Amino acid sequence: MKLSFQSRKPTAVEADVLVTFIHQSEPERSRDQEGLVNLFGEGAIPPLSIRDFAGKENETALVYVSEGRRHRRLLLAGLGEQRQPSPERYRRSAAVAAKKAKSLKAASMLFILPLLKKAAEDVIMALGEGALLGLYRFDKYVSKQKEEEKRLSEIIFASEDKKIAAAAKAALHRAQIIAEAVILARDLANAPGNEIYPETLAEVAVQSGKKAGYKVNVLNEKEIEKLGMGGIMGVSQGSTRPPRFLILEYGRPSKKTVVLVGKGVTFDTGGISIKPSANMSEMKMDMSGGAAVIGALEAVSRLKLPVHVIGLIPAVENMPSGNSIRPGDILRHYNGKTSEVDNTDAEGRLILADALGYAERYKPAAVIDLATLTGACVVALGHHATGMMGNDAGLMKRLKDAGEATYERVWELPLFDEYERLIKSDVADVKNVGGRWAGAITAGWFLRKFIGNYKWIHLDIAGTAILEENGEYNQKGGSGVGVRLLTEFLRHWK
């Protein structure tokens, strides 16, 4: 799907469906409809009853505009009541409109840009992103696809305004790259465990690096063992699939290096502490943190941002077998510290411990890890906020701002000292579970035991990466969360 821009009067553009965005307004003609009259001429658009279309959030109506003898389809897309809708409102409306145009079997669609006075770039970016993400489906394994479902291939934006043209070109370039990176992350998450396992996850990263222009180094099990990464070796030993440790690098070393760490459990059965079978299939998405890191590196690299970013992804499959780790086993991690495995289903933290230790090599200015780490975080925040923990308020503020801008919102959970003793072990340096309460926080504390001397943020994306319902531009399944958040964060990183 391609986003394109044409510097001309929207009515001069050929497209199967024209789309215009309209505020909810009084029964009499709103300013927006006046705009349409200017565009199409008096009497070209039939008067529409407020009962048929009021411009409510996500409401749509199809009308026909007459241009001489020709009639064209014009889709009205509601924006809701706000006079100055947020980018998120545009993102959602664009998604709804794009899905509607697809259902109308359109091959091309034109977005008539609203009369924007400020933040034109953010609004256009949101429109492009919303349309591309709204149209996403994970359907490559569905043999018989309806022909028309594949037709829509171009979304055209048009305006005669020179200022809008400049903003639009920049915004659509960014939207295209970022949406494609989100889609890569969604495809990886949604791919089943028999397709994506540590070796194939590594292969996808290598291909992405080649395409986008960043380096990928893949360590195999021998190299992982030699480095003393006992968490990765331990968790993966129950699986016939060998582990991999992915090292991604974009840009030149600097004093402001950012390391991104992503949990890459390609399937999480729980191991010997096996999970119940209901919904276990969702655990094919337990590598969503890793997918977000690959997506972010691809986006940052294609956007050529002036930053130095390292991506670290410990990739394993967590399986029960005669070779699995047992409850009670003790592992030694990369930084020399030991952990008691009280529950083999708390595996994410065991592999992240090695990666967080390894991150110290880069003397990073910031380390951010992303992981579908705990069901407890889903209990606390549901699917609308990522749990954030960390050791630096300033860094967390920056990430929170990126979360507001992208609507991939993060919410801080406290790492108070009092929680630390919940993961005290009698036999090792730390225990991998903390009991019934504050499960997201005790997981965060476990990770904290393994960080180096750097500013660090842990993002628990268990609720936001794996969705149970369709939204406007999100579908049930993998959301690709983190890609837009991290790219926005890195765009402002100095």
Binding footprint of Zn ion on the chain (CB under 5 A): 265, 268, 286, 348
Residue 57 makes CB contacts below 8 A (sequence gap 6+) with: 24, 78, 79, 80, 89, 92, 93
Q: Read off the DSSP letter of residue 298.
A: H
Residue with tokens 């770039």: 121
Nearest alpha carbon to residue 454 among 319, 329, 376, 358: 358
User: Beta strands 338-340 and 366-371: pairing type?
Assistant: unpaired
Measured from the CB atom, the residue of 135 and 461 that comes closer to ligand BES is 461
Q: Taking CB under 6 A as the rule, does residue 268 contact ligand BES?
A: yes
User: Beta strands 309-318 and 244-250: pairing type?
Assistant: antiparallel
Asked whether the beta carbons of 348 and 263 are under 8 A apart, the reply is yes
How many angstroms separate the most distant Cα atoms in the chain?
84
Measured from the CB atom, the residue of 268 and 317 that comes closer to Mn ion is 268
Q: Taking CB under 6 A as the rule, does residue 165 contact ligand BES?
A: no
Instruction: Please state the closest distance from residue 137 (CB atom) to Zn ion, in A.
Output: 26
**Interaxial angle between packed helices 162-190 and 120-134, expressed in degrees from 0 to 180 and rounded to the nearest 10:** 30
Q: Taking CB under 6 A as the rule, does residue 460 contact ligand BES?
A: no
Instruction: Please state the closest distance from residue 258 (CB atom) to ligand BES, in A.
Output: 25
Measured from the CB atom, the residue of 113 and 373 that comes closer to ligand BES is 373
Provide the residue count of the chain.
Answer: 494
Instruction: Please state the closest distance from residue 418 (CB atom) to ligand BES, in A.
Output: 18
Catalytic residue among 56, 151, 275, 337: 275
Asked whether the beta carbons of 178 and 299 are under 8 A apart, the reply is yes
- 275 included as an active-site residue: yes
User: Beta strands 60-67 and 258-262: pairing type?
Assistant: unpaired
Q: Taking CB under 5 A as the rule, does residue 408 contact Mn ion?
A: no
Q: Which amino acid is at 478?
A: G
Measured from the CB atom, the residue of 340 and 345 that comes closer to Mn ion is 345
Catalytic residue among 263, 349, 431, 448: 349
Measured in whole angstroms, the distance separating CA 368 from the mean position of its chain's CA atoms is 15
User: Binder to ligand BES among 60, 190, 324, 374 (CB under 6 A)?
Assistant: 374
CA pair distance 72, 64, nearest whole angstrom = 5
User: Beta strands 244-250 and 215-219: pairing type?
Assistant: antiparallel
Tell me which residue has its CB nearest to ligand BES.
375
Q: Taking CB under 6 A as the rule, does residue 386 contact ligand BES?
A: no
Instruction: Please state the closest distance from residue 343 (CB atom) to ligand BES, in A.
Output: 4
Judged by beta carbon distances under 5 to 8 A according to partner kind, the member of ligand BES, Zn ion, Mn ion, none in contact with residue 374 is ligand BES
User: Binder to ligand BES among 242, 290, 314, 348 (CB under 6 A)?
Assistant: 348
Nearest alpha carbon to residue 389 among 447, 470, 312, 311: 447
User: Binder to ligand BES among 59, 347, 354, 472 (CB under 6 A)?
Assistant: 347
At 206 the three-state DSSP class reads helix
CA pair distance 153, 150, nearest whole angstrom = 8
Segment contacting ligand BES by CB under 6 A, of 92-100, 343-351, 392-400, 447-455: 343-351
Q: Taking CB under 6 A as the rule, does residue 320 contact ligand BES?
A: no
Q: Taking CB under 5 A as the rule, does residue 342 contact Mn ion?
A: no
User: Binder to ligand BES among 372, 464, 474, 475 (CB under 6 A)?
Assistant: 372
Residue 173: in which H helix or E strand, if any? Answer: helix 162-190
Q: Residues touching ligand BES: how many (CB under 6 A)?
A: 17
Applying the rule CB under 5 A, the residues between 251 and 280 that interact with Mn ion are 268
Measured from the CB atom, the residue of 268 and 460 that comes closer to Zn ion is 268
Q: Taking CB under 6 A as the rule, does residue 375 contact ligand BES?
A: yes
User: Beta strands 264-268 and 366-371: pairing type?
Assistant: unpaired
b/e string for 229-248 if b means 16 or more Cβ within 10 A? Answer: bbbbbbbbbbbebbbbbbbb
Judged by beta carbon distances under 5 to 8 A according to partner kind, the member of Zn ion, Mn ion, ligand BES, none in contact with residue 376 is ligand BES
* Residue 72 β-bridge partners: 65
Applying the rule CB under 6 A, the residues between 419 and 458 that interact with ligand BES are 433, 439
**Which positions are annotated as active-site residues?**
275, 349
| Residues lying near ligand BES in the complex (CB under 6 A) | 268, 286, 343, 345-348, 372-376, 378, 433, 439, 462, 466
| Residues lying near Mn ion in the complex (CB under 5 A) | 268, 345, 347
